[in-house]
Amino acid sequence: MLTKRIIPCLDVTLDKKGGCVVKGIEFVNLKEAGDPVQLAKMYNEQGADELVFLDITASHERRGTMIDVIERTADEVFIPLTVGGGISSTEAIRNILRAGADKVSINTAAVKNPAFVKESSEIFGSQCIVTAIDCKRNPDIKNNKDKTIIELEDGTEAWYEVVIYGGRTPTGIDTVQWAQKVEELGSGEILLTSMDKDGTKDGYDLPVTRTLSELLDIPIIASGGAGNIGHMYEAFTEGRADAALAASIFHFGEYTIEEAKEYLGKKGVAVRL
């Protein structure tokens, strides 16, 4: 049985010191959560399975990812490190991998140029390419008959729209159809973030997570909404995700990685202890 992965996420923005981990609600109202290098080191020591480093304003600010911060982070961690934010060329991927990352996460650039997913996976290998999909519920199903309609927790229905530039720009693209396409193009994994849930601490978006997990053969990382370790259990059991990503509950000391894994293990979820 494959073990489920616990992945802390470092949402990083550029500041005068070079980089700062932040956390907000639906990617806005950001507040500082600490130094990325120190947090990465702590999570490595606590037994995190992987680490995700997202430069969340790189695409919006039309700049490259913070290579120096990645290098300093990679020096402190000995677990797989995924880096995303502003990556739009194979040269950028090469530089990030040279800086110490094990995988790259592409989002906006993939939506704007799907061939980039195929090219990247052919050059660097599918295992290296994670497609990040930020999505938002759209209740207008009457005018979107061609979209994948998903039943929500309250019995209503919606389709999930892909959004880009850090959740700022809707695309009209159906999340489920887009996920199927990037799998065909060679993406090795999908990092699925529900903008409706991000930072709310109300739990993961289980309907869309479950839909993708059941439909695709590549791993799905659930992201957005973790408020406690019980939500992680729901992501694995009800959402059928392969990994659960969380930020606030770890950054602000509500739980440690060990506590999360101990809880999940007792509940019968296979985790690496």
- Over the chain (273 residues), the average pLDDT of each successive run of 10 is 91 62 50 74 95 77 72 92 92 95 95 98 98 97 96 97 88 98 98 92 97 98 96 98 94 93 97 93
What pLDDT does residue 24 have? 47
- Show which residues are catalytic: 11, 134
Closest CA to 179 of 107, 245, 251: 107
Alpha-carbon distance 230 to 235, whole Å?
9
What pLDDT does residue 25 have? 46
What pLDDT does residue 23 have? 55
Other residues' Cβ atoms within 10 Å of the Cβ of residue 98: 12
Other residues' Cβ atoms within 10 Å of the Cβ of residue 256: 18
Closest CA to 211 of 145, 159, 266, 138: 159
What pLDDT does residue 36 have? 85
Percent of the chain as helix, strand, coil, to the nearest 5: 35, 30, 40
Look at the chain and count its residues. Answer: 273
Tell me if 249 sits within 8 A of 226, measured CB to CB.
Answer: yes
- Contacts of 76-79 with CB under 8 Å at 24 or more apart are 76/37, 76/40, 76/41, 76/44, 77/40, 77/41, 77/43, 77/44, 77/51, 78/44, 79/44, 79/48, 79/49, 79/50, 79/51
Does domain 5-132+188-266 correspond to CATH entry 3.30.450.40? no
Per-domain boundaries in the chain: 5-132+188-266
- What pTM, to 2 d.p., does this model score? 0.91
What pLDDT does residue 16 have? 45
Alpha-carbon distance 37 to 179, whole Å?
31
